[in-house]
Chain A
């Protein structure tokens, strides 16, 4: 079945540092890929998405590129802020439209 593997956390960075959170996936066909962010006490919010190979999703300074050859969708941000502290989830929606599979999340803490 489909699966998503994320870089284990927690990740602690200083403000303005570069962020990478690795995500790889296993799926049949051509899934859509997503990054969600979850702030304390809140539900998941869509951060960005990509629906086909080589697509780049971007939002709020975060970027991720759909790499089919390496089955990856790594999240990056050039300069993190304290307000980016949250849990980040990588997810895919497979060819069974509507069924999503999530990674276990990576906790990011940004210190001033």
Chain B
């Protein structure tokens, strides 16, 4: 069974540029999560989807971050414009309802 797929694995951009991350969850998982992981810290939830609906986006900085999960499968997380402080690893995870979360390898973003 394929795991959670994320792309790209690495991204380097200049500040003020836009960037997008893509996630394909495990087949059949209706719940999808985007986390932010800063160096030396644990993941922090940005947004959680139940199917197509964002049920918890309270930690998503909505002035520059946006996310979508069309058709309740793949998801895209976007930052526009990126700031230096956005440099981090962005993790996607999926689960079947509130069961165990399975994580992708993450996208490491560097903003110069």
Residues of A in contact with B (beta carbons under 8 Å apart): 4, 34, 36, 41-46, 49, 89, 91, 93, 96-100, 102-105
Contacts of B42 in A (CB 8 A): 4, 89, 91, 102-105
Select the stretch in B14-22, B70-78, B101-109 that faces chain A.
B101-109
Q: Which residue of B lies closest to A38 (CB)?
A: B103
Contacts of B41 in A (CB 8 A): 104-105
Q: Are A100 and B106 in contact (CB under 8 A)?
A: no
Cβ of A21 to closest chain B Cβ, rounded Å: 13
B43 CB–A CB distance under 8 Å? yes
Sample of 16 A–B contacts (CB below 8 Å): A43-B4, A43-B91, A43-B106, A44-B43, A44-B91, A44-B93, A45-B103, A49-B100, A93-B98, A97-B98, A98-B33, A98-B48, A98-B97, A100-B45, A102-B42, A105-B40
Q: Which residue of B lies closest to A46 (CB)?
A: B100
Cβ of B99 to closest chain A Cβ, rounded Å: 9
Number of A-B contacts (CB under 8 A): 52
A4 to B68, CA, bound (A): 29
Cβ of A57 to closest chain B Cβ, rounded Å: 11
A43 to B108, CA, bound (A): 11
Report which of A4, A43, A103 forms a contact with B104, defined as CB distance below 8 A. Answer: A43
In the complex, besides A46-B102, A98-B55, A104-B42, 10 extra interface pairs with C-beta distance below 8 angstroms are A42-B105, A43-B4, A43-B93, A43-B105, A98-B33, A98-B56, A98-B97, A98-B98, A99-B56, A102-B44
Q: Which residue of B lies closest to A34 (CB)?
A: B100
Report which of A42, A46, A99, A104 forms a contact with B45, defined as CB distance below 8 A. Answer: A99
Contacts of A91 in B (CB 8 A): 42
Q: Are B31 and A98 in contact (CB under 8 A)?
A: yes
B87 CB–A CB distance under 8 Å? no
B24 CB–A CB distance under 8 Å? no
Contacts of B93 in A (CB 8 A): 43-44
Cβ-closest 9 pairs across A and B? A102-B42, A43-B103, A97-B98, A44-B103, A43-B105, A98-B98, A104-B41, A43-B104, A104-B42
